Amino acid sequence: MDHRQDKKTFHGVNHETHPSNHERMIENFKKRFLISTALTFPILLLSETIQGFFEYELIFEGSQYLVLSISAFIYFYGGYPFLKGLVSEFKKRLLGMMTLIGLAISVAFIYSVYATFSQTGMDFFWELSTLIDIMLLGHWLEMKSVLGASRALEEIARLMPREAHLLTEAGEIRDVDVNELKPGNVVIIKPGEKIPADGIVVEGITSVNESMLTGESKPVEKTRGSKVIAASINEEGSIKVKIEKSGKDTYLAQMVELVKKAQESRSRAQDIADRSAFYLTIIAIFVGFTTFLLWVIAGKSLSFAIERMATVMVITCPHALGLAIPLVVAVSTAISAKNGFIVRNRSAFERAKDLEVVVFDKTGTLTRGEFGVTDILILDKKVFNDETEALSISASLESFSEHPISKAIVLKAKETEISILRVDGFQAIPGKGLRGNINGNEYKIVSPGFLLEIGKTVKDEKIEKLAAQGKTIVYVLREDKIGAAIALADVIREESKKAISELKSMGIKCMMITGDNRHTAAWVASELGLDNYYAEVLPYEKAIHIKELKSNGFKVAMAGDGINDAQALVEADLGIAIGAGTDVAIESADVVLVKNNPQDVVKLIKISKSTYRKMVQNLIWATGYNIVAIPLAAGVLYNQGVILNPAVSAIIMSLSTIIVAVNSRGMKVS
């Protein structure tokens, strides 16, 4: 990205301060509405119908031509967007709401001009003017609703800081524009400041608020080696961050781009709505002209017949139908982004409501992808009194090592607030373990292989069971006496248990697919209560298992890390890349989850169901009223004194649009 050519773009996120095309269109409709409405008042005052209703008289020579002139201006100026839309839809052969509105106001205007000059029949300029006013108001409100639903991304984009504290090679701190930052630069972020780019912490400890970006409500602790995301807020300590991604490559920039594409992508429900709008338009035109002919045949005046025809066309206008799906899409996309996941394929996202099976990858998805202590067994009470003593000794020795097993044992001690003791004479036993002196005694932490070398064996049912589960076992010795055993495994996430439980309560089968051994897979499946699992599976074989499930008639989602699961993600009805972090551009996934949290899969399905529910509700609101409205507009109850004019029909039609807008904006995740 050449920042010199785009001064209004910061780190790949557009901060353009001038009105967008959408905002200009809103202002245009607002201006046309206000001017047209102001000019409608003299038309109303000079209307014979209005004068008769309010029992006053205001007629002067040439007043009818004044009304015609003002009405002509409103027709061409206020009605311009609808007339332009009418021409555009005819050219594309996709008749819709603009066709109906354009035809209705054109028929009303042309007939009224004829009636004025021929002095035969009644004009309905006031109906024409109020109809245009109401339609302009409806479109103005509609566009404001859509803009409001889409502004979540703009609000996030505005979070980007403009400046950063760059640490130069000379050790000086220089304030620079964020556009100048490049990968490899080191910046200092002080408490309360926003992080200017994606990077990795190289010095300092702090907590970072990422809620606006990932949906994580609690501040996330960041230490040396932790990744940070641009626009998140540094809440506590001062940290140094090495820039990894800048410009259009940052998570924020990619998220904005993906969500824009998602909002622009067509929905299957949108196709249904468009087809419905087309057929409704054809029906309206047919019914409108049929109504006109029937009233003429029945002996009614030409003006009455035209008014009935115009009323039918207006009230049948699929205005709300055109808004029903796009507004739900805009709202659901914004909600998804706020919850930390991005919809890349709307059709696949809509299929989430029908899912019957969710298949999870194991490592890094259902589990943390790192060692953790799962069990501590006391084998000799003469050596260790309890688990706390055994863990304290073990963690004290392991604190000298960077091995994954060592880190897991030390982390367990920290979590349980067990103190680390002083160790003298620490020594590594290459490939076998560690030794050291604590309080005058020699302790060792060793592998089963070391025990065999010194001629010791352990026979214990619990240890055999742990080993059968695929767990790693290490032994803790004092003066060569075996006192305890510690079992370690890839730790199952607490969120996984909650997610599986919720999915099963929704009637969805939960399965796991992994390249890990059968013993480990069986243990994880048992702990989580999975319906089935596939173990020792090669990456390309994952897609085969997904295909088999689909061939058995199941609607299947695959949740994985998007790398070795790529083929399976593509094969599934819904591919979910989970735990994508800042690497959101995963081409194989339909939905990208930012956080490494399986519960987001549950949330995703709930949003999909809520989205579908709102779409159905909107389609019903947008079309259902026509069952009653069309016959009334045609005049079936005319003999009973019930008659609708074009302005009233426009209000009824606009009410359906408002209901659709309010219903869409009220969408929530249950």
CA atoms within 13 Å, Cβ hemisphere of 427: 8
**How far is 160 from 178, CA to CA, in rounded Å?**
9
Distance CA 383, CA 370 (A): 30
Distance separating alpha carbons of residues 89 and 101, to the nearest angstrom: 12
- DSSP 8-state secondary structure symbol assigned to residue 20: P
| Annotated catalytic residue within 361, 490, 561, 590 | 361
CA distance 489 to 366: 13
> Considering only CA atoms, which of 322, 298, 319, 321 is closest in space to residue 634?
298
Dihedral sign, Cα of residue 72, residue 76, residue 77, residue 83:
positive
Instruction: Extract the tokens encoding 341.
Output: 């996941």
Sheet architecture: strand order including 532-534: 341-343, 591-593, 574-577, 556-560, 357-361, 509-513, 532-534
Q: Which residues of 272-304 are buried (b: 16+ CB within 10 A; e: fewer)?
A: ebbebbbebbeebbebbeebbeebbeeebebbb
- Which residue carries 């699992």 as its tokens? 533
- Rounded to whole angstroms, the Cα distance separating 415 from 331 reads 41
Least Cα distance to 582 among 157, 200, 163 occurs for 200
Q: Are strands 532-534 and 509-513 parallel, antiparallel or unpaired?
A: parallel
Token pair of 296 as six digits: 């003429």
Residue pair 69/115 in contact (Cβ under 8 Å)? The answer is no
573 is catalytic: no
Which of 377, 395, 393, 523 has its CA nearest to residue 459? Answer: 377
Nearest to 381 by CA among 368, 394, 390, 372: 390
| DSSP category for residue 249 | G
Distances (CA, A) of 120 to 232, 296, 308, 335: 71, 15, 18, 58
- Which amino acids are annotated catalytic? 361
